Structure 1
Amino acid sequence: MQAIVYRRYSSDEQGDGSAQTLDAQLERCQSFAKAQGWTVVEVLTDEAKSAFTGDHLRADADLGRFISRLQDGEFAKGTILIADNLSRLSRRPVDEAMAWVHQVTGKGVEIGLADTREVFKPNPSLGDFLQTAIKFGVSHQASADKSDQTRRSKNTLWALAEQRKGKWVNLAGLLPRWLKRNATCDGWIVDEDMADTIVQIYKWSADGIGVNTIVNMLNARPDLPPFGRQKDYRSGVPAWSRTTVRQYLTSPIVEGDFRPNTGMFKGRVIHDFYPRIVDADTVARARADLKARRKVAGKGAGTGYTNLFAGITKCGLCGQRASLSTSVQKGKPYPYVRCEGSQEGRCTNKGGYAYRAFEATALDTFLDLALDDRFFEATGELGRARVRKAEIEKMLADRRSFKMNLLRSFSGQDAEVATVIAEASEDIARLIDELTEVEAAISVASGKVGNVEHLRRVNDIREAAKSPEDAVRKQARSKLRKALSAIVMSVDVERDEEDERVFTVILRGGMMAVRIDTKGRIKKAVSDAVGQPLYSHLTDDQREVLAPLIQRIEKLAGSGENFPPATGDAG
């Protein structure tokens, strides 16, 4: 006879002992099956699912899926569903629990309990029915009592955690891999090596590297082994996964926040509960890029040559996306951009636009203007100011959210609530003033980086983008792509008035457009409409702002026109 083992633990049982709990249940169930001569053919497991609330019966739980499979006739009559004890199957009220048992046994599947060696069969006698009902009633009442006790205990722990008193760290359930409770449970022990790995993941993301690439880079580094038991689903070898990396990149724990997303404390927060391991500025930049990358279309070519303008490159004729491809000639890659519509016969803009020379000129023209201090690791005065700015912005968001929740929840004239709302408003105003001050400090600190130093840093990134080391090159090119997208609105591939293939780079806001041909030469940027340079429509104040760029374009294009004097280094 075939048997299916079901094991479960609830959210209240989470912690270091959860795995042992599951292992112990499995061992007892298998022992029961062996004694009865049953063959265990499957093991169902629900982790952090409550039988008191019925979470384990929902569609995303193993026991919930078991019921769906049962309704579909997947299990033969006489199959046994084994649980360690009755409470693992249900702690719901008697009527619901008995209805569930009848639903299972009515389909010919029997229910076995390892602790009492009982087996529930279809069509029980009245005595057996009542005896089972009494057991479910006792189990439900015990769970209700336990729930009340747990609620009181957790409220006490929350208060202790806010004051950092007693064994306050026990408020947390499952801990991240880089943290452990100390021996007295009144503080934390940080695994510095693991914490450094998390910091590296955030820095990569802040530089514009996507989750998939981060995973590949981690798995290529034997000095950065995966945490815990995660394995590659194909090879079974321990490996980082996209899910794990994304979870770490969105976890409030790295910022030190305790923010339960389920249970009685959902929506509440304790700041500085955990040790912060990633600074606020890096967290903000990494998450901003993580969010932005979900909206960006386009991907790199298979040979590893990445379009720095991916997602914003389009056909100037039909407006459809233009993508980067790479052909290999005499063993060397030759990247080129093509209109996707032309490849499908929907556009007459046929043929490829050689990419390499265009990219080099685009970097020469725009890069030092695009790469401002946001794209370099900040240290000293500037670093402290940027971190403080990110911290203030986070506190502002929290206080605004707190105030809005109060306003939604309390519409009456409660004097105490009105006082709390007024205090939150004062905090918000104070933080806004502090944010203004720190932004001014950032502006001053940024200005202390001279033109020569800035150009040196820009050149370092360009050289890194050519590195033979894959990780270094990817990181640098991701940073370049991120920087260019900050000032470039779109890149159109099209034919100019001389019928030559050109890339038309349009700056954000449509303030200016620059044409670069496939040999990397800046054209005189003549507009088909007015026969004048594409930036000739700019107002005097706009031309003053863009004077360094205009002078650079004129110099590279060989034009003798005079423009306003540069307000900064023109390169």
Structure 2
Amino acid sequence: MTKPRAYSYVRMSTDAQLKGDSLRRQTEASKLYAEQNGYELIDDFKLEDIGVSAFNGRNVSQGALGRFLDAVQQARVPHGSYLLVESLDRISREPPQVATGLFLQILAAGVNIVTLTDGRVYRTASSDPTDLIFSVVIMSRAYEESLTKSLRVGAAWENKRKNLTSKKLTEVAPAWLALSSDRSSFDLIERNADTVRRIFDEADAGKGSYQIARGFNLEGLPPFTRSNGWHESYITKILTTRAVLGEFQPCKYINGKRVPHGESIEGYFPPIISREQFERVQLARKARKNRGSGRKGKSHVNLFSGVAKCGYCGSSMYVVDKGPKPKGGVYLRCDSARRGNGCKASAWPLAHFETAFLYFVRELDLAALLSAEKRQQELRQTEGALASKQADLEKQKRVREDAFALLATSSASYDFVGQKIDDATVAIGKIECEIGALKDLLAGYRTASVRVDLDIKSIIEKLLSESDAQFENRVKVADWIRTNVNSLRVYADGTDGPADRIAEMRGEVETALDPEALAIVDRITREARRKGALTSDFDRRFVVSFDHGGFRSVRIDRDDPTKHVTSIHYAEGEWSIDDRRL
């Protein structure tokens, strides 16, 4: 005769029970009961909900008990089988009406329920009303106990929040802090705090997480933990946590994941980074993400990675190395043209383009950017203040949007929500005025210095060298471009281009003639242009617009990148045009 099948269901809501005796106790009780009553305990159908709560029914909706019920409905569990549980509260801790429904659902599916603590059997065919009454009483008590525990835990947590000045919520702290012996404050671990400050300083100078992690590993700087060196993801985590500002975000676990719970607590940790620097770094990271960061090599940094676009087709511009001169060289080229994908724009020699951009884009104050002088520090502080105000503006806009959304709910108090909207609107207006003032201040910083062209040419010459000493400076310039440039359109063949036929003829000449012959062709072309024989605009040109407003359009002399044919500048409602042909 076939033995009745028995299925052991084990549920534990906390890791503490798993570390303790609960799992062994429930498992061994099921084995003993099956042996004593002649049941076949099915071991290959594992029914364990570890860390899954029955208070909200997740053991049914997402856990093993729900899968068991599905198996019963699909007749993979024979009628007359037994479900062995330590007690009914292992099945459900939901409200009595919900728990009773689940209890009856299992019995109606043809599965008997055994509670191991008292040996009681609830049978599918039983007509004894005391079984139902007994089950309702037990599960009602279980629900009340869980509800009371939940309220107590919540009240205890809120009480902890109210007493932060005398006792911290938890001993968990960032890697640069340690809880004091009296649990009333956190002490700095100076070595780690200095490392965090260095991470922000390097990010503020334009380095990404990958570069910072790689530099630390090459230097042999020990990580905070026993990790195998520094990782890009950990640097990113440090750069984005508001704990460096002293904020603590309480969390709770939902479906095994930590999610924010309640408002963040300011002043909980000792701050180690200024808000201006933090917001400045976030703004730069956002710009790199939106416009492309570009992993930087040791010997070269593409200043325009993710920013420069072809003026004709809109494709990204890439640095292309065609090998050593005289036939080779390094160029900035449209990706579609490089791949023969519909665009025939010519390549622009990289050194020529970089020189032209750095020389004519006066919004980029190279002397100030690459110096450590007081004026540069003031400039960075102002940029940080602007980034902070922009973050405040976005926050107030979200508050106002959320308040407007509340008006659509029938339970919302119009007076309360209306006051929230008014407060947010006033705050937005004030912050926008402050942002305007900071932008004006930045514009003043960028135009106050007297530009000495010889000095700028010297700086550019150094930047264009392949010296490792210029790596850090090129990183700073690239970061400034990504942060401040809204768009950069490159017209390698002028506004009348791409000059398909000229480009094709040029290609034929380049393959047929030696460098000396090419020089003769170039001289003849220049002479024809000087005499006005070439009237079409095939001169190289770039157009750059800025996040803070305004733009520049510069038509560049092909021979000298520090000379222009036409330069147009627009800012603050004023135009400036310098055309050397007039």
TM-score when normalising by structure 1? 0.62
Match status 1:506 vs 2:505:
no
User: How do residues 181-220 of structure 1 correspond to structure 2 at under 5 angstroms?
Assistant: 181-220=179-218
CA separation in 1, counterparts of 2:338 and 2:65?
A: 45
* Equivalent in the alignment of 2:269: 274
Displacement after TM superposition at 1:336 (Å): 3.7
Q: Give the greater-gyration-radius structure (CA).
A: 2
Could you say what the CA RMSD is over the residues aligned between the two structures, in angstroms?
Answer: 6.2
Displacement after TM superposition at 1:84 (Å): 11
User: How do residues 6-155 of structure 1 correspond to structure 2 at under 5 angstroms?
Assistant: 9=14, 21=16, 24=19, 29=23, 52-53=55-56, 63=63, 67=67, 91-94=93-96, 96=98, 136-155=139-158
CA separation in 2, counterparts of 1:86 and 1:491?
A: 73
Displacement after TM superposition at 1:282 (Å): 1.3
Aligned length: 505
* Equivalent in the alignment of 2:566: 534
User: How do residues 556-567 of structure 1 correspond to structure 2 at under 5 angstroms?
Assistant: 561=580
Where 1:157 maps in the other structure, the secondary structure is helix
CA separation in 1, counterparts of 2:69 and 2:566?
A: 66
* Equivalent in the alignment of 2:248: 258
Match status 1:157 vs 2:160:
yes
Match status 1:483 vs 2:480:
yes
C-alpha contact 1:252 1:258 (8 A) present in aligned 2: yes
CA separation in 1, counterparts of 2:199 and 2:114?
A: 47
C-alpha contact 2:318 2:333 (8 A) present in aligned 1: yes
CA gap of 1:505–1:313, structure 2 versus 1, over 3 A, is same
C-alpha contact 1:258 1:269 (8 A) present in aligned 2: yes
CA gap of 1:534–1:413, structure 2 versus 1, over 3 A, is same
CA gap of 1:240–1:69, structure 2 versus 1, over 3 A, is farther
CA gap of 1:443–1:513, structure 2 versus 1, over 3 A, is closer
Displacement after TM superposition at 1:310 (Å): 1.9
CA gap of 1:433–1:322, structure 2 versus 1, over 3 A, is closer
Residue-by-residue CA offset, 1:348-383 (whole Å, 9 max, x unaligned): 517x73654235524651577414767877867667
CA separation in 2, counterparts of 1:443 and 1:308?
A: 22
C-alpha contact 1:6 1:82 (8 A) present in aligned 2: no
Is there any run of 5+ residues in structure 2 with no aligned partner, and where? Answer: 1-5, 32-40, 254-258, 508-538
* Equivalent in the alignment of 2:510: none
CA separation in 1, counterparts of 2:65 and 2:443?
A: 57
Displacement after TM superposition at 1:399 (Å): 6.6
CA gap of 1:408–1:129, structure 2 versus 1, over 3 A, is same
Displacement after TM superposition at 1:144 (Å): 0.7
User: How do residues 375-386 of structure 1 correspond to structure 2 at under 5 angstroms?
Assistant: none
Where 2:194 maps in the other structure, the secondary structure is helix
Where 1:535 maps in the other structure, the secondary structure is strand
CA gap of 1:299–1:424, structure 2 versus 1, over 3 A, is closer
Where 2:231 maps in the other structure, the secondary structure is coil
Residue-by-residue CA offset, 1:197-239 (whole Å, 9 max, x unaligned): 33333334333434444454455553141547xx6xxxxx465
* Equivalent in the alignment of 2:556: 515
CA gap of 1:118–1:346, structure 2 versus 1, over 3 A, is farther
Match status 1:225 vs 2:262:
no
CA separation in 1, counterparts of 2:119 and 2:492?
A: 75
CA separation in 2, counterparts of 1:455 and 1:3?
A: 82
CA separation in 1, counterparts of 2:464 and 2:13?
A: 51
Where 2:265 maps in the other structure, the secondary structure is coil
CA gap of 1:203–1:34, structure 2 versus 1, over 3 A, is farther
Displacement after TM superposition at 1:320 (Å): 2.6
TM-score when normalising by structure 2? 0.61
Letter in 1 for 2:146: S
Is there any run of 5+ residues in structure 1 with no aligned partner, and where? Answer: 10-19, 232-236, 526-532, 551-560, 564-571
Displacement after TM superposition at 1:283 (Å): 0.8
Where 2:488 maps in the other structure, the secondary structure is strand
Displacement after TM superposition at 1:288 (Å): 0.9
CA gap of 1:56–1:216, structure 2 versus 1, over 3 A, is farther
CA separation in 2, counterparts of 1:398 and 1:390?
A: 12
C-alpha contact 2:247 2:264 (8 A) present in aligned 1: yes
Identity percentage of aligned residues: 18
* Equivalent in the alignment of 1:529: none
CA gap of 1:271–1:443, structure 2 versus 1, over 3 A, is farther
Where 1:534 maps in the other structure, the secondary structure is strand
Displacement after TM superposition at 1:284 (Å): 0.9
Residue-by-residue CA offset, 1:38-91 (whole Å, 9 max, x unaligned): 9899999988x76544577777xxx489959987999x979x999999878864
CA gap of 1:296–1:364, structure 2 versus 1, over 3 A, is closer
* Equivalent in the alignment of 2:529: none
